[in-house]
Structure 1
Amino acid sequence: MADGKGGLRERKKAATRKALGEAALRLALERGPDNVRVDDIADAVGVSPRTYNNYYASREQAIVAAVTAERALRVAEALRARPAGEPLARAVTEAVVEQYTTEPAGDALCLITSTPRLRAEFVNAMSTIARPLASAIAERTGGTDTLAPAVLAAAVSAAARVALERWVHPGGTGPLVVVTSDRPLADLLREALGHLEPALRALDGRS
């Protein structure tokens, strides 16, 4: 069977990763992130700290993963779902905006944006969209050039990262109590990605 032991193993790993992230976020909300240890997260899921370290490099990474998990893949799938005749620049922008303006919310958002290390991890997680997005761009343009989609996907990731960083930490370098911009994240994303429109349009025209 194509989905035999290998498929079952991958599903179990994905479930463990998800459970660890959810436990990390729950404990951080209950106790505060500085009062959560790796041992606490591992114990909440019933695995060893060593197993935890196979999935996450830090508690901050696990906490943020609870609200960003699978988002990189969802961006790529959102691009694939856009209308076939839609210009690439608009399709990419709307796919990114769709996935990055719906969550996190409420207590999770407050926790992430009020904690410098979580804020940094949240912004850095944007880089994970580059690889799956490159594949989706290549499929959409239908060309044989694999370098251009990868370069443009990396540029989209970087531009979106700048917008997200501006949103969660607008201006200044010191610690802020209120760290979300007055501008909606969707507006910042569209502005940042707008600078890439000529390059995306050029690739679209070659397809």
Structure 2
Amino acid sequence: MSTGLRERKKSATRQALHEAAVRLAIEHGLDRVTVEAIADAADVSRRTFSNYFASKEEAFLYGDHARMCVLIDAVRARPAGEAPWQVLTAAAVEVFQVLGARDPRWIAQVRLVRRHPALAAQQVTTYTSMEDGLTAELVARGVEGPIRARLMAAAFMASVRVAVQAYPDRTGGAALIDVMREALAVTGEGFRG
């Protein structure tokens, strides 16, 4: 299904605001970046910024939100017969494999999140907001009980977040996908069976 012109423009504006927020935060530090500066850098009004994001932290982390939406779509696309934790792991590998090599800009973003409590809180909010969709998908795939499905979704999202946060400190050329597999394997031991 093709996206209409209006939706493409909205998506481009959202992406421009995100990129401006990231660039300015890396260049000047998050504390020195204002919503007005982000709007100016994206060549939109402050009001337009507010139509897309509630805060500079939300704009900064829009890439995480977009990746989590892709991740949930990847979970939904997995074969019906796979075990639930296998589905989650395979989807994460598929989505995060594309990040491949160490991108210095992305590493800088991750490090900024770790240094700023407001960004860390927004990241947790972004990840936990995806739990409802994952929980519903896990229940549809036969996970017994809404509590078990929600715990599995929460543990999965926490594992993904921890892997992303641990990745910049890995030495020896470890790829993000290797860190992701490790985190998911450790967490998944409690959900096998």
Please give the alpha-carbon distance, in whole angstroms, between the structure 2 residues aligned to 1:120 and 1:99.
23
Alpha carbons of structure 1 residues 96 and 180: separation in structure 2 relative to 1, 3 Å: same
Q: Is the 8 A contact 2:22 2:109 kept in 1?
A: no
Q: Which amino acid aligns with 1:54?
A: N
Please give the alpha-carbon distance, in whole angstroms, between the structure 1 residues aligned to 2:86 and 2:61.
28
Q: Is the 8 A contact 1:156 1:196 kept in 2?
A: yes
1:192 matched to 2:187? The reply is: yes
Q: Structure 2 regions of 5+ residues with no counterpart?
A: 172-177
Please give the alpha-carbon distance, in whole angstroms, between the structure 2 residues aligned to 1:22 and 1:153.
35
Q: Which amino acid aligns with 2:92?
A: V
Please give the alpha-carbon distance, in whole angstroms, between the structure 1 residues aligned to 2:125 and 2:170.
18
Q: Is the 8 A contact 1:131 1:153 kept in 2?
A: no
1:94 matched to 2:95? The reply is: no
User: When the two structures are aligned, how many residues end up with a matched partner?
Assistant: 182
Q: Structure 1 regions of 5+ residues with no counterpart?
A: 171-177, 199-207
1:52 matched to 2:49? The reply is: yes
Deviations 1:31-83 (A, max 9, x none): 22222111011112222212212322221221121x31422221222123323
Scaled by the length of structure 2, the TM-score of the pair is: 0.71
Q: Which amino acid aligns with 1:13?
A: K
When the two chains are superposed, the root-mean-square deviation of aligned CA atoms in Å is: 3.6
Tell me which structure has the larger Cα radius of gyration: 1
What secondary structure, in the 3-state scheme, does the structure 2 residue paired with 1:192 have?
A: helix
Q: Which residue of 1 aligns with 2:11?
A: 14
Q: Which residue of 2 aligns with 1:202?
A: none
Q: Which amino acid aligns with 1:131?
A: D
Q: Which amino acid aligns with 2:132?
A: R
Q: Which residue of 2 aligns with 1:175?
A: none
